[in-house]
Every structure is written in C-alpha cells, then in structure tokens.
Chains A and B, each alone.
Chain A
Amino acid sequence: MRMSCAQEQLSRGLAIVSRAVGGRTTLPVLNNVLLASDGERLKLSATNLEIGITTWVAARVEAEGQLTIPARLMADFVNSLPSGQSVLLDANTRTHTLHLQCARYNANIKGIDAEEFPPIPSADDRPTIKLRAGLLKEMIGQVAFSAARDESRPVLAGVNLRLDETKLVLSAADGFRLAKREAALEQGWPEKLDIIIPARALTEVARVLEDGDEDVEVTVTPNRSQVLFRLRAPTGEINLVSRLLEGQFPDLERVIPKTHTTRVGLKRAEFITATRIAALFARDAANVVRLDITPGGEGGLTPGSVALSANALEVGDNRGEIDAAVEGDETYISFSSEYLSDVLGVLNTEEIVVEMTGPLSPAVVRGMGLSEYTHVIMPMHTVR
C-alpha cells in the first residue's frame, strides 16, 4: 500500500475513528486503526466491538493494500505534522511497518496484519431511512441521557428506536425517569422497525453528527443484530456501526400520565438558575430539591410562583422563588436535582411546562410548544 493525502484531512479522519478505539489490551488489534485503500480514497476504521467507526479521506493511491497501526501514536504523529502538507503513507505488508513522510519528517510505525482486524459490516444496498443530521443529533441529545447507566437490566441501557411509515420515535428510561422524542417523517419506513441501540453508541453518533441539513442514512443488518448510520458530510463520509441490544423494551406509553391537576409554566433560564442554586445544597441532602407551587391570586392578576428549596442538615439550606403561570391546585413535589437539571439542560425552548398530580405521582416536563418531547420524572419522598 502506498498513497498520499492531505495532513488536515488525515488528521481529522483519525480523530473521528479514534472515538471507537478500544482501551482493552486483551485484543491488541483493537488499539489500532485500520488503513486501507478504497478506490481513490483512504479508508480509516476502528472498533471496540461495541461500535465501529469508518471514515474516508481523499487520497492519491499508488499501490493498494491495508494495514493496522496503533491509533494513538498515528493520530498524535499526524496531528503534529505541519498543515498544508501532504503525507505519504507507505506500508510494508511483509514487515507490517508503515512508513510516513511529510515535509522533512519521516517515521516508521510498526503495526499488525489487517487480517486480524475484526470485520465491520457495511450498508451495501439495503433499505435505508434518510434523516436530517441536525434533527437526529437533537433527538439523541434529548433522550439518551435518560438511559440507565448500569447494566442490571440491559435493555434499559439502550435507547428504543421505533420507525413506521409516518414517524420516528426515540425513547429511553432508567427506571426513575423517561424521555421520549418523536419526529414526523416525510419518507417513512416500509415496515415497522423496533430496535434498541446502546445509549453509549448513540451518544457517539450524536458526537460525529454535525448540526446541518445533511442526510443520515440508517440501516439495520438483515439479522437485526447491528445498526449502521451513514453520514454524508461535505467533509467526507462517516459510517458508524453499533451492535443492537436484544430484548423487549418496556412499554413506556402507559407510564406517561395523561391527566394532571397542576400545570406550571416557567421561564427556562430562571428555572435552571434556581435549580442550580438548590442543587448546591441538595448534593449533601440526598439530592432532594423540593418545589412548592403556589397558584396566582385575584383571577390571575398576581402571578403564581414556584419555590425551589433544599435543606442539607450539616451544610445549610436555601430557598429560591420564581414567577410561574400556575393552573390548578397548589401542591409540592420533590425531585432529584440531577434529574431536573438533566432535562432542563436538553430543552431549548424559552419556557418549560411541568404537569403534576400531587407529590407522589409522576411529573411531566416539556418544552412549551414542543409537543414532540415528553419527559417524565418520578418524585422522591421522605419516609418516616
């Protein structure tokens, strides 16, 4: 294999695939990036067996071939090279050594035979769904954080992706909260699709996606064991493959409350500030933040309010009050400050709506005017 490509492009490509480089030493080849000639391009691949990322860099190919090279050293070396220069890659497949040359810098890096690199499936010509990259990125951001972080119930560590002819639904739940985001589709999916993707893999997808209008193509392998995201960005193509989680995702629809007795509308910025302050005290008090909701008086002439408070026995306490449009009953409810700040962090509407039915029932948090998104938080309470 002998080819040359631009330093900037090679450096960027290595940075992208490095996200999938495994840290485990049991299989040394997983610490490596696969370099392969692919037509008039250089293909870069890395995998940790959970996810695999492949990207392509324009190259002038003089001789075809492939080799794997320690990803970290390769990326650090290429990153340090002067920009605007072309990098020559010359692999000796017999000694598994890659010779690099750029300007007056020369290096030889010892690698591992490409045959040892685990195969990463490609999309080929299977049916795909096209999504807008920016939308998918936003949806993942609003949902994936609600997935369980431990593996005690494996399906909950994943994000449920459902597709039908009209819409795409992503949902996740960790047992104490759930997030669901829908998006209408112009071009639907011919058959119903219902898969569970590890939240960690989706987070990586969101990371490589850009906030643009480019298309992302989503494909599932025929045996439904892997999902593939193919992004065609102006800077190059990126493929991300993830294994799928097996199992039945719980039906979350029936958990989402359909009614409420109190509805509160708040300014998001104020809500975030009050939550952040309360969290300072809550972190020493089981993270409990209490919301006291008071409806406005005199037929709406005086505004209602929400008071956020936290009380840590050995640290101190605080109480912050913000104006709110309150419909319905006066009530109170306690949440984990983490859960509250997590959801406030992913909503981008100016106003937030909280719907609740008393202190011991699930509460729904939405963005005002963002009907596609639903977040449910289970309250906390103190037992005697």
Chain B
Amino acid sequence: MAPTAPSATPAPIIRRLPPDLVAKIAAGEVVERPASVVKELVENAIDAGASAVRVEVQRGGLSLIRISDNGCGIASDQIELALLRHATSKLQAFDDLFRVRTLGFRGEALASIAAVSHLELVSRPATQASGRAVRVEGGEVVSVAPAGCPVGTAVAVRHLFFNVPARQAFQRSPAGESRQIVQLCQQLALTAPHVRLLLEVDGRLALQAPGNGDLRDALAAAYDAPVAGHMLALPELEEDGVRVWGYCSGPEEHRNTRLYCTFSVNGRLVRSQMLSYAVEEAYHALLPGGRHPLAAVHLTVPTDDLDVNVHPTKIEVRFRRDRLVFSVVRRAMRQALSNFAPVPALQPFAIGGPPGGGQDPGPGNGGAQRGSEGHFGNPTPAGEGEAALPLSSPASGPAAGGAGMEGAWPLVPGDGAGALAAGLLSLASAAAGGDLAAGASGGAPGQRPPSGGLRALGQVGLTYIVAEDASGLYLIDQHSAHERVVYEQLLRAGDGSGTAGEGGEGRESGPPAGTQGVAQLLLTPEAVTLNGTQAAWLLEHADTLAGFGFQLEAFGGHTWLLRAVPRTLAAKGRAQAIGELIDGLIEHEYGAGPLDDQARWAIACHSAVRAGDRLAPPEMAALISQLERCDMRRTCPHGRPTMIHLSHAQLEREFGRR
C-alpha cells in the first residue's frame, strides 16, 4: 500500500466576486428594509431642496415605493451617472466628509436600491423643457428615454428584494413594514418641519405635514393636535456652538416606547443612545417606570464636531464633544419641565387649550417665549385661568429666557382674586413658617408674590389634602408630596458638598456649601439582621448609605449595628427601615439612576408621611408650603402626580352654572 497524502481536501480557491454580488452585498448595508429605501430617497429629495415630498407605498413597500419631489432634479445627461455606485454631487474631496451639510454624501443609496429592485427614475431640472426616465432592473439599465414630467424627481421602486430571497424572508408582514415607514415619516417630518411631507399607505393618507416650518404643527401632524398643543417648548440653549431647540412632553404625557423621541442633528434624523439617555435623565423621577416621553429635539453642532460617516445608513452619529451635547440637551429639557409642569386636571374634562399654544412663534425662539408667557402671567388673557400655573418655580434659575424672575403666579381673572390669593398666601406661610412671601408683598404693583397661595382646607381619608387657591381646588397626595419635598431637600443638601453637579445641573441657585447628610445618632445601637442578599448588597454599598447618614458597623454574620440614621428618618422615628430600604434598592424600586439618587428616593420614601397619617392643619400648611418650594412639585420621585386640579371653570360646568 502506498502511503496516502497527508490531506485529501484541496485548498479552497480564492475568486473575485462578480460585480452583481458585490452590489447586492453593499446594498444590504444601506437597504435593509423598505423603510430604509424611504429614508434614503426622502433624504435625497430634501437634499435636492424640495419643499414638498410625496411618498406612496404599497404592501409595506415591497410592491411599490414611490417618492416624488419638487426639488432641483437631475440633468438629463447625468441621469445614468446618478445610478452608478459612489456617484454623487454632494461630496468632492475627502476633507468634505468632515463638513457634510447634506443628508446624503456617499453616493450609494440610489445604486444600492437599484441593485435589488425594479427602479424607475424620472427627473427634470427647472432649466429643461422635458425630463428623462431611466429603468433599472437588478442593477442593469433596461431603458433610458426622454419623458414628460413636472420639475423635480420621482423614483418608483417596485419588487424590492426580488433578487435577494434571503432578505425577503426576513421582512415582516406588509403591515409591519408599513408601520415602520409611517414611524419613519413621522420622524422625518419632525426633522424637517419646512418640508411638506405627504405619506400614502395603500392608497390611504397616513401623514400630511404642513411644511410651514413650525415644529409644533409638524408635531400635530405626526402625533395629534392636543398632544402637540400640550408639548413644552425647550428653552433655546447654546453653548460652545452646540444649540438645542425643540419640544418635549410634560410629565403627564408618556408612551411605552422610546420611538416618540426624535433627534435631529444638523437636520439629520439620528438615533443616539447618548441623546436618549440625556432625555431619560431629564425626566428622571418624573415618569412612571418603563414610560418614555415624547420629544422632538433639534441640535445644531459645528459640522467638524460631528462624524456621520459611522454607518452606511448614517442614522448613527458620533459627537466630538458628547458630554457637552449631553449636558445641553438634558439642561434644556430639565428647564422646560421645571418651568411648566401642569397639574393633571381632574377628569372628565381635559385640560383646556395650552397657554399660548395657538400663537406660538417659530421654532427658533419658541422656547423662551412660551415658557415666559405661562409664567409671568402678564399678558395672558384671563380665560386661560383654567390651565394656569398656580405654583411658583423659585429655583428655576436661568430658565424662561433668563429673565430670572421669581416664577409663576396664578393667572387669575382680575386683581381682586389675586389679592385674595396673596392674603391666603400670607396666612399659609405664617402657619408654615419661613416663606419668602413677606419680601414680595411690598413689591412693585403688578408684581406678584413669588410663592403660590395654596391653602389647605382639610384631609380626605387621611391620605389626601384638599387645598384651594385662586384657580380652583387641588387634591394633594400627602405621601407623594412629602416624598418629593424630602427628596429635594436631600438633593439640595447633596449639591452643596460639590458632587460635581451630577443630578444638580440646571439648578444654578444651588447653595455654595452645605451638608451632605445629617446623621442622628441612636441612643443604643440597633442590631439589624439582614438576609444574605441584603448583607451582600450592604457590603458593597455601605459607603453610599453612610453618605446619607446611616452609620452601620459589621457585627459578624449578617448582623450589623446601626448607630446613626439620616435625620429625616429620625424625625419619623423609623430607624428600623433599613432592611426594607435595602430590599427596595436591590429590587430597583427607586428608579434606575445612579445609586446615590436611588438611595435618596428610598430615604425620602421612608421618611415621608404615609397614607393614613392624620395631619393637623399646621402640618398640612407646612407641607404645602414646602411643596411649593420644590422644583418638580407636580410629581413624586416615582413619577406619580402629587396633586390633581379641579378648576373653577370645571366646577362651574359640573354644577351647570355655565
């Protein structure tokens, strides 16, 4: 027997891929699904300077996607060039990549789409009497012919992925793809409010953005008019070339998905975890768990600060100074929220029209304007008392156009009521002690006292405080409200010790120095026996708790000696809450923020009065006055409302008085 060869398998042969396969692979990067086709083509249209774009899709875009615009068009002699890969009018040299102002620039989209579909391109520039039509099937030009057509470009994409069965298999149902396209077009409409965007899905109108440049109108088109009407304008902030503007929802409006947050950077629709996180941070402690706000955030950054060439679809971007962008976005939202956080109205009546919602100025300066209108209460018509902002916003700092005023005062019809409210205010603050009312009462005429005039009337079911002010009746959840008060006290105390401004940004009035946690020592150390999980957690995080005033000493096994507790807990005599508190922290009952912040909530929660605690009138007055001094007084740290409002107008309607 002759010895066998060491290996029977021949070495694989390396071959160059045929061009059509290369094209299909490349197409796969850009054209993932019908929605990507829509995105690329609509962005092309916007780049072409179109003021109106019409999108038609059938069977989720798998049968037909047609996009027509009134943009600059493509000259007839260049139309075939436009279909070649890496052919573009938008970029000339490598350095241009870092100065990209157009949405597209790679010259890939049209070629990629053409490679995987039957595509028809018809275009006529305004300078030409007639246009030209090109038909491409799977990347092969089938025909080129002159065509009569309006100025602009129309692209019809049929039989998408006809030659890529694998891709076809991964598409969702037509309905699912349609939904994606609708969502995308909503976001594009918010990104480009100056473009009249029309979307027809299977012959039905799905979106009609007016294209008048007003972002609020675009929001109304994308979502619905009442929602858009209630959205809050972000104060227009600019720092180091990073400018932000847009709208976000108040804490009462939320969705169970992040898809309602649209970010546009230099006019480009982007997805960014960093930006999403900035938003979540801003709403931190305002929304119930798992809920997300609505927002349309526009950012302008210097072009050389932005890298859009991260991915062929260009939906992911990188910022050179991402921390700066993060903080500007978060601050803008935080300010918008602290300026305007309406009290949820008692059903069945929805809140009336938003203050100043109708005559909102252009998106550029909408922020400051809107914030101040509701806030300083001067020129707003009396009829809007219903949606008034009865509470102050003492610590809003540079908010509301930087006017630095003391904050809101109820928009009351007529001065008599205002005077009455002022009187009640002094009563309430006298009872509660220590308010700033006195200073303001001697102010200039027309200048309202800085604090609200809520007056406690009594307690319902040992759980809710009934209060009134000039704008109507309020029901206040005593636990939620107190939780909010203690939480902010702890936050303020923490700020002072210079914890690098985390969680305290946007609060320029923060104290210069102060206490972190105040520990009240226990008469006798208390043995706290924890279970294994609790003990393991404590070993790891004892320092965090110590920062708030818990003094715990390991005593062997799972037993710890508690020697001191945070002052707020001592005041309630709840030194024993430690086990429950740790459990809550382990279970993430107190949000998903930094541990410091979770601990702050936890302590606030355990320190607060509970439902069922009887409150004497001075206690109620004190609680209300403390609540009025909070930045985010409308919700407890868990995001539940602290109060609901029943306006005089609602009362009158309910009783049939008008």
Contact = CB atoms under 8 A, between A and B. Distances in A.
Interface stretch (A102-110, A112-120, A126-134, A149-157): A149-157
A177 B524 CA distance: 10
Interface in B537-596: 546-549, 551, 564, 567-568, 570-577
A178 B524 CA distance: 10
A382 B576 contact: no
Nearest to B520: A380
A382 B517 contact: yes
A287 B433 CA distance: 14
Contacts of A283: 433-434
B521 interface: yes
B574 A152 contact: yes
A156 to B, nearest CB: 8
Interface string A169-211: 0000111111000000000000000000000000000000000
Nearest to A335: B520
B567 A288 contact: yes
A215 interface: no
Interface string A85-112: 0000000000000000000000000000
A73 interface: no
Nearest to A312: B434
Interface residues of B, number: 37
Interface string A252-294: 1001000000000000000000000000100111111000000
Interface stretch (B180-188, B204-212, B491-499, B636-644): B491-499
Given A287-B567, A313-B511, A336-B567, A176 B523 contact: yes
Given A152-B573, A287-B567, A287-B571, A381 B519 contact: yes
Nearest to B567: A286
B52 to A, nearest CB: 54
A24 interface: no
B276 interface: no
A163 interface: no
Contacts of A78: none
A174 B573 contact: yes
A380 B572 contact: no
B175 to A, nearest CB: 56
A63 interface: no
With a 10 A CB-CB cut-off, give which of A152, A156, A178, A313 has the most chain B CB atoms: A313
A380 B521 contact: yes
Contacts of A148: 573
Contacts of B496: 313
A374 to B, nearest CB: 13
Interface in B486-509: 489, 492-493, 496-497
B249 to A, nearest CB: 30
A150 B571 contact: no
A178 to B, nearest CB: 6
B514 A313 contact: yes
Given A149-B573, A287-B571, A176 B522 contact: yes
A313 B521 contact: no
B369 interface: no
A39 to B, nearest CB: 40
Contact of A176 (B492, B515, B517, B570): B570
B511 A380 contact: no
A378 B574 contact: no
Contact of B523 (A177, A313, A336, A380): A177
A313 B511 CA distance: 6
Contact of B522 (A252, A288, A378): A378
B440 to A, nearest CB: 15
A6 to B, nearest CB: 35
Nearest to A151: B573
A301 interface: no
Given A175-B523, A177-B523, A313-B496, A380 B567 contact: yes
Contacts of B524: 175, 250, 255
Of A280, A283, A285, A286, most buried by chain B (CB within 10 Å of CB) is: A286
B516 interface: yes
Given A314-B492, A336-B567, A383-B519, 15 more contacts: A152-B574, A173-B523, A175-B522, A175-B570, A176-B573, A286-B489, A288-B515, A313-B493, A313-B511, A362-B521, A378-B520, A380-B521, A383-B516, A383-B547, A383-B548
Which 4 pairs across A and B sit closest by C-beta, in order of nearness? A313-B511, A378-B521, A286-B518, A150-B573
18 contacts: A152-B573, A153-B576, A255-B523, A280-B434, A286-B489, A286-B493, A286-B518, A287-B567, A288-B518, A288-B567, A336-B571, A362-B523, A378-B521, A381-B519, A381-B521, A382-B519, A383-B516, A384-B516
